[in-house]
Amino acid sequence: MAQTSLPQAGSSVGDSGPYTADDWAKFYEVMFTGDQAATQGVLRNYLNELEVTGAGNTISINTGAGLCYGHWLLNDASVDITALACAGVETGWNRVVLVQNETAAAYNTNLMLPAAYAAGVPRNSCRIAILRGTCGSPGVLPALLTGPNYYMVELARYQVTGGAVGTITDYRDFCEFSTLLNADSIENRTRTIWVPALTGYNDSASTNILCEFVTYNNGPYLELPNAVQSQGWGRTIIPSDFLSDLSVQPVMLTGPASGNVYGWSYASWGGCGESSVSGITSSLAADSLSAINYNCLSALSCSGIATDDFLSLTYIRSGADALDTVNAGVMLLGWVVTYTADS
């Protein structure tokens, strides 16, 4: 097996230079992304970490730096890109990406770029762009390119409906030393916290639901009644070691009854001085409940959350729907929250 080392003093002796661009790209890829080069690209704590925001039909990518398959990009001024609309009521999914062009010509296929790069990503360069999907009913999310001539790492994605840009979802995955990237270490950095149900509301009767206690599980719980719409709430703060991949699962108990509970989850968050406007809602789902058992319902994945944000959780039961077959009150105990920690 061939071995090599760099950098070394001298020229053309042993492993000394000259070194190629591919040599250095491979060095950075191995050091900072390991086998995660297809997803990891943003350098943490440098300027504004390439955060993506939007207003109207303008997508803005803040300052920062990153790697695209080992190729380093510095962005020292915010980049604005005009998002193209879909026709009528059609929808389309777009990705905000880093694009590495390793060919001898500018590249512009399915890309939206700032005016300075209207001709495309320059030859042998890395730039920020929007990768445009196909408009339709529904639209199709475009596939990322992973070589051999063009490489892409995703920063965010959003949906376009007609001419309106929807919520921007953060997909940044931060670079790390590759020694932290094996499967065991990722698993060992999975953290779990418990968020108890605090209070609730009977939407149909316009009455509050208060926590109760029951002897065989030592409570507390919120009873979401049968045959009406009701909801329960809980709240926590995002831990200081939070990195990514936050998901929440409501946990329920029943008495002797079993069947399907029909409802959906909602999560919202914001930091001190911010309004709790960021949020995500799951689809309506029928979750099977076994009598007496702890029942973990469908998970809701949240992105765009930051350390020390206040996280508000809601589960809404549509008990009057025919798909809700428990035919009894259900006890909402709280939520299991899992995430990947930064160490």
Answer whether 0.75 is exceeded by the pTM: no
- In terms of Cα–Cα distance, which of 196, 214, 237 is closest to 336? 196
Q: Which of 180, 205, 237 finishes a domain?
A: 180
| Cα–Cα distance for residue pair 202/233, rounded to 1 Å | 12
180, 199, 224 - which closes a domain = 180
Domain boundary pick from 180, 215, 240: 180
Cα–Cα distance measured from residue 95 to residue 156, given in angstroms and rounded to the nearest whole number: 6
Q: What is the model's pLDDT at position 183?
A: 45
Give residues with Cβ within 8 angstroms of 293, minimum separation 6.
253
Same domain for 35 and 175, yes or no, is: yes
Residue among 31, 307, 336, 342 nearest 186 (CA)? 342
Q: Which pLDDT score, from 0 to 100, does residue 217 have?
A: 55
Q: What is the pLDDT of residue 148?
A: 92
- 311 and 237, same domain (yes or no): yes
Please state, in angstroms and rounded to a whole number, the distance separating the CA atoms of residues 162 and 169.
19
What pLDDT sits at residue 323?
95
Return d(Cα 54, Cα 94) in angstroms, integer: 13
Is 3 a domain residue? no
| Residues 136, 258 within the same domain | no
Provide the 10 A C-beta neighbour count for residue 282: 19
* The predicted structure's pLDDT at residue 213: 75
Tell me the C-alpha distance between 26 and 340, whole Å: 27
Amino acid code (one letter) for 172 = R
What is the number of structural domains in the chain? 2
Give every CB contact of residue 185 below 8 A, 6+ residues apart in sequence.
179
Cβ atoms of 253 and 288 closer than 8 Å? no
Q: Which of 22, 39, 35 is nearest to 102 (CA)?
A: 22
The CATH number that applies at residue 111 is 2.60.520
| pLDDT in single tens digits along all 343 residues of the chain | 488 888 899 888 888 889 898 889 988 888 888 878 888 899 988 999 999 998 888 899 999 999 999 999 999 999 999 888 888 778 888 999 999 999 999 999 999 999 899 899 999 999 999 999 888 877 788 999 998 999 999 999 988 887 778 888 898 988 877 655 444 444 467 899 999 999 999 999 999 999 887 655 556 889 999 999 999 999 999 998 898 889 999 999 988 889 999 999 999 998 888 777 778 898 899 999 999 889 999 999 888 888 899 999 999 999 999 999 999 999 999 999 999 887 6
CA 258 to CA 304: how far, in whole Å? 36
- Burial group, residue 258, by CB count within 10 angstroms (0-12, 13-18, 19+): middle
**Structure-block tokens of residue 221:** 């719980």
Are both 211 and 315 inside the same structural domain? yes
> Residue 248, CB half-sphere, CA atoms under 13 Å: how many?
30
The Cα–Cα gap between 195 and 291 comes to 22
Q: Are residues 330 and 276 in the same domain?
A: yes
What does the pLDDT read at residue 1? 41
The residue segments making up the domain with residue 111 are: 21-180
Coil vs helix vs strand at 195? strand
HEC letters along 29-57: HHHHCHHHCCCCCECCCCCCCCCEEEECC
Does 223 fall in a domain? yes
Which residues share a beta bridge with 64? 75
Domain match, 238 and 326 both:
yes
Write out the two tokens for 315.
Answer: 């589960």
Residue 122: inside a domain:
yes
Domain assignment of residue 1, yes or no: no
Q: Using an 8 Å Cβ cutoff, are 243 and 185 in contact?
A: no
Angle (CA) 145-150-156 rounded to 5° is: 50
Phi, psi angle pair for 76, to nearest 5°: -100, 10
pLDDT for 343 = 67
In a domain, 246, yes or no: yes
- The enclosing domain of 209 has a CATH number of 2.60.120.260
Q: Are 81 and 113 in contact (CB under 8 A)?
A: yes
